[in-house]
Structure 1
Amino acid sequence: MSSNRNLFAILARNFPKDPGAPLLETANGAVRSYHEMLELSARIGRTLLAASAKPGERLMVQVEKTPEAIALYLAALRIGAIYLPLNTGYRRDEVEYFLTDAAPKVVVVTPGSPLADESLIKDHGARMLTLDAEGRGSLIDAAQRQPAEIEDFECDDATIAAILYTSGTTGKPKGAMLSHGNLSSNAAALHEIWRFEPRDRLLHALPIFHTHGLFVALNTTLLNGTSMVFLKHFDAAEVIRLLPRVTVMMGVPTFYTRLLASPEFGRDCCRDMRLFISGSAPLTVETFNAFKERTGHTILERYGMTEANMITSNPYQRDRVAGSVGFPLPGVSLRIADDQGKPLKQGEVGGIEVKGPNIFQGYWRNPEKTKSEFRADGFFITGDVGRIDERGYVHIVGRSKDLIISGGFNVYPKEVESVIDTLPGVAESAVIGVPHADFGEGVVAVVVGKPGAQLAEKQIAEATRDHLAAYKAPKAVFLVEQLPRNAMGKVEKAKLRETYKATFAAPRR
């Protein structure tokens, strides 16, 4: 067996013997085989190499979800480039920062996106290629002129495969460096504990710029050598139509609440399903119970983060406990610790710290931050707060970094506050997350105006959308005379969350 630890090489060892076997099928019934995707990824890989995306160089990607985008990801792995996907909702201010920080050699963009500015990209020393929402563009045009074979880049487990940016509560987004070993070990662990079978077929309705859709869903499917139904985005009616044709679905809690909201959703469309998996945000006990009652299936909830991929999962065969994220994955160590990293007793609440082959290699060009996030014994400080019950199940009870998870996407208050605080007439702001029936948490901004300023809630919300992705913009804005503070002058966000907790509650009848 080859000693190559390249993630693609590891996945490819499990591809079906029949090269014509389907890899993905789109909503309109178009099928792409493993052979077709292998050839396209080789052509794209050669195109990227010709454009200077050499091994170790960053390949920045902000494109829509298409089969060609999957081939682009595979191509990056095959040539040893570092794949750097960006949320398609990022605005101009955000992408300019990423360009400066990551210094990519090649940028692949959807025409019309904030990043699709050739002069901007050239000014940062990169070359631009395009890939539109239909899978066409200069990238594919150039790829069609290339040979359909390529020699896969050889590397070890520590070689960086991807950089995913994750925002911080006190500063700019940080690039989490994930190695080929991080990704392959996590895929293998998930494939094992979720009992993937030769008959499995995945329903893929997640975005592919995020760990969940790109690494968890795609890598496990490829490692299993099976196929997926590939949707551009989640649509409840379309998912209900397609569920009888698949066996596994991965989603964020919002997917499941929207399915439950449809009277067409029930046991009949789930008759051939083997597994429903939820992650990226907390699944409420109410949704957990309602889903089980409606379908007869118990959702399997897991826990992960950008820097660690997947960390824990509820068991496949044993009890899947509502409100719990289960047990650490094989090879992963998890402890609950105090502020100094001292392990706490079972049942005590403290910081969640983890260690294992899934943990990232550090933050891009930020060794100081990397050092501060690890204990001396190698445990990574997640910033989440939790406990382990008497049966060994892990429970997340809070987030020490004030992270908001809205619709499965991370929103860091400091980033939103930084935009609001620059608006004319704003003295200061505090951004919090409060319960939202559809998104899990809704972003709320509490704003203090300068003396005499004429502020309007609607205008503040709209102004943030000019600078930030729409999911980060406040869904509600409140104007107040002052923010609550403790004796040290720190804003008491717990009080704000209590004050505004019913903002998105359904009105009583």
Structure 2
Amino acid sequence: MASTLALPKLPLFDAIARHDPNSVAISHCLSGRSFKYGELLPDVCRARDQIYEAAGKTDIRGERIAFLVENSYDYVVTFLAILASRAIALPLSPPFPAPELQYILTQSQASLLLYSAKFASKAKEVLKTPWPEPLPNTDPEFKPTLKAFELSKHQGLPEDNTVFDTVTITDDADTEGAGMMLYTSGTTARPKGVLIPETALTAQSRALIEAWKYTPQDRLLHILPLHHIHGTVNAIITPLFAGSTIEFLFPFNADTVWRRFANPYLESLKEDPVPDAASNTLGKGVSRYYARERRSNIVSFRHK
């Protein structure tokens, strides 16, 4: 029997709960793996509980929760789980050097660092990096305390699965403390954390839906970094509000991107369109996905 889970009444969770549970929310371009809307919120609930366990408490409202997760379904689940805990999501850029990441962790006074298996070695390197001296914040009472936790990878349900755990959206609409913190580039001074509350994330996403006309029939090929506003708000939160499909292509490769754009318009994909499958491949997963797109006539991409 399906279990019952609960999430606070954030507008984004309300929207996701109303989408067709059998439609694809997230897909991975190279592997062909996909995740449906029906499994997204249950996974968010379980990830939120993991965060509580890692933090050692169930009230982390307003705390900065940093995370190192690759562009994938796991990133989306982690990000939404932090919002569900009414904490502030602090996405980190994996290519940043360890001292720069340590600076961000210290300056933001992050209480928890979440990381995927892919970036376990990077996280350990950051944790071994000394805290900057003097500490880059203005609170003289601040003493660095940072916990770290490795997140489990989501394998997804079978493609033919149509039964999902029930998620209850509670009447608690208090979103105080929830939001995201992004760091400036630091071109004129050291990077500074910019707090974006959940209400601003929602307002921006709704404005984009109206301006760009996102629909459930849209497929967004996601090739952007996820520690920037465009990659997160324009290309994750907004399509999730609209019920669109987000397709992650990671890591970025210009030739692969152009071939992916071309795939829906080719007559056939009987052979792998990229010769060097080892270093620059779309893989068989994309061919399978293309076949599903052809059958359903869903071939649009958002790449403004």
Whether the TM-score (by the shorter chain) exceeds 0.5 is: yes
8 A Cα contact 2:209 2:238, kept in partner: yes
Query: Where does residue 205 of structure 1 map in the other structure?
Result: 223
For residue 100 of structure 1, what is the aligned residue in structure 2? 106
Contact 2:98–2:129 (CA under 8 A) maintained in structure 1? no
Amino acid aligned to 1:8? L
Does residue 245 of structure 2 align to residue 227 of structure 1? yes
Counterpart amino acid of 1:207? Answer: P
5 Å-filtered alignment, 1:284-323, equals none
Cα gap change, 1:48/1:226 in structure 2, threshold over 3 Å: closer, same or farther?
A: same
C-alpha contact 1:166 1:174 (8 A) present in aligned 2: yes
Taking a change above 3 Å as real, the CA distance of residues 121 and 188 of structure 1, as seen in their structure-2 partners, is: farther
Q: Which residue does 1:71 correspond to in 2?
A: 77
Within the candidate set 168, 172, 189, 2:190 is matched to: 172
Match of 1:304 in 2: none
Q: Please state which structure has a larger fraction of its residues in strand.
A: 1
Q: Which residue of 2 aligns with 1:113?
A: 122
* One-letter amino acid matched to 1:216: N
Partner of 1:31: 34
After TM superposition, the structure 1 = structure 2 runs for residues 242-281 of structure 1, keeping only pairs within 5 Å, are 242-243=260-261, 273=300, 276-277=303-304
Q: Is the 8 A contact 1:45 1:76 kept in 2?
A: yes
Deviations 1:323-363 (A, max 9, x none): xxxxxxxxxxxxxxxxxxxxxxxxxxxxxxxxxxxxxxxxx
Which stretches in structure 2 are left out of the alignment for 5+ residues?
1-7, 132-142, 155-164, 266-297
Correspondence for 2:174: 155
Kept in 2: contact 1:161–1:179 (CA 8 A): yes
Per the alignment, residue 41 of structure 1 pairs with 44
CA distance change for structure 1 residues 174 and 246 in 2, over 3 Å: closer, same or farther? farther
Deviation at 1:62, TM superposition (A): 2.0
State how far apart, in whole Å, the 2-side matches of 1:184 and 1:121 are: 37
Task: Using the TM superposition, name which of 33-42 and 234-243 deviates more.
Answer: 234-243
Mark the CA change 1:90 to 1:275 in structure 2 (over 3 Å): closer, same or farther. closer
- State yes or no: 1:124 paired with 2:127: no
Q: Are 2:184 and 2:193, in contact at CA under 8 Å, matched by a contact in 1?
A: yes
Output one character per residue of 1:216-239: Cα deviation in whole Å (capped at 9) or x when no partner.
111111011121222113223322
Whether the aligned pair in 2 keeps the contact of 1:229 and 1:246 (CA below 8 Å) is no
- Other structure's SS at 1:198 match: coil
CA distance in 2, matches of 1:231, 1:276: 13
For each residue in 1:74-123, what CA deviation from the matched residue of structure 2 results, as whole angstroms up to 9, or x when unmatched? 11111111100111111122122122211222101321115545566998
SS in 1 for 2:61: coil
| Alignment match, 1:216 | 234
The answer on 1:186 being equivalent to 2:204 is yes
Q: Which has the higher helix share?
A: 2
Name the aligned partner's letter for residue 225 of structure 1.
G
Q: Which has the larger radius of gyration?
A: 1
> Kindly, what percent of the aligned residue pairs are identical?
26
Q: How does 1:4-23 map to 2 (within 5 A)?
A: 6-12=10-16, 15-16=18-19, 18-23=20-25
In 2 relative to 1, CA 66–273 (structure 1 residues): closer, same or farther, beyond 3 Å? closer
| Alignment partners' CA distance in 2, 1:246 and 1:183 | 32
Equivalent position SS for 1:50 = helix
Deviation of 1:245 after TM superposition, in Å, equals 6.2
Distance (whole Å) between structure 2 residues aligned to residue 150 and residue 92 of structure 1: 40
1:57 and 2:59 equivalent?
Answer: no
Q: Cα 1:126–1:275, aligned 2, differ >3 Å: closer, same or farther?
A: closer
Kindly tell me: are residues 124 and 116 of structure 1, through their superposed partners in 2, closer, same or farther at Cα, counting changes over 3 Å? farther
Rounded to whole Å, the distance in 2 between the matches of 1:178 and 1:191 is 19
User: Please, what TM-score do these two structures have when normalized by structure 1?
Assistant: 0.42
Q: 1:196 to 1:49 in 2, by over 3 A?
A: same
Contact 2:183/2:192, CA 8 A, preserved across alignment = yes
CA RMSD of aligned residues (A): 3.2
Displacement of 1:58: 1.0
TM-score (norm 2): 0.68
Distance 2:105 2:191 in 1: 12
Deviation at 1:244, TM superposition (A): 5.0
Question: How has the CA–CA distance of structure 1 residues 87 and 63 changed in structure 2, closer, same or farther, with 3 Å as cutoff?
Answer: same
Residue 66 of structure 1 deviates from its aligned partner by: 2.3
Deviations 1:18-65 (A, max 9, x none): 312211111221111112222211111011112227121110112222
Q: Are the aligned partners of 2:54 and 2:148 in contact in 1 as well (CA < 8 Å)? A: no
How much has 1:151 moved relative to structure 2?
A: 6.3
Q: Is the 8 A contact 1:92 1:115 kept in 2?
A: no
Matched residues in 2 for 1:227 and 1:104: separation? 31
- Please list, as runs of the form range in 1=range in 2, the aligned pairs for 1:369-380 lying within 5 A after superposition: none
| 8 Å Cα contact 1:82/1:163 also seen in 2 | yes
Within 2, Cα distance between the matches of 1:81 and 1:188?
A: 22
* Equivalent pair of 1:45/1:75 in contact (CA under 8 Å): yes
Distance in 2 between residues matched to 1:228 and 1:245, nearest whole Å:
16
Deviations 1:442-469 (A, max 9, x none): xxxxxxxxxxxxxxxxxxxxxxxxxxxx
Deviation track 1:404-431 (CA, whole Å, cap 9, x = no partner) reads xxxxxxxxxxxxxxxxxxxxxxxxxxxx
| Aligned positions, number | 237
Q: Secondary structure at the match of 1:173?
A: coil
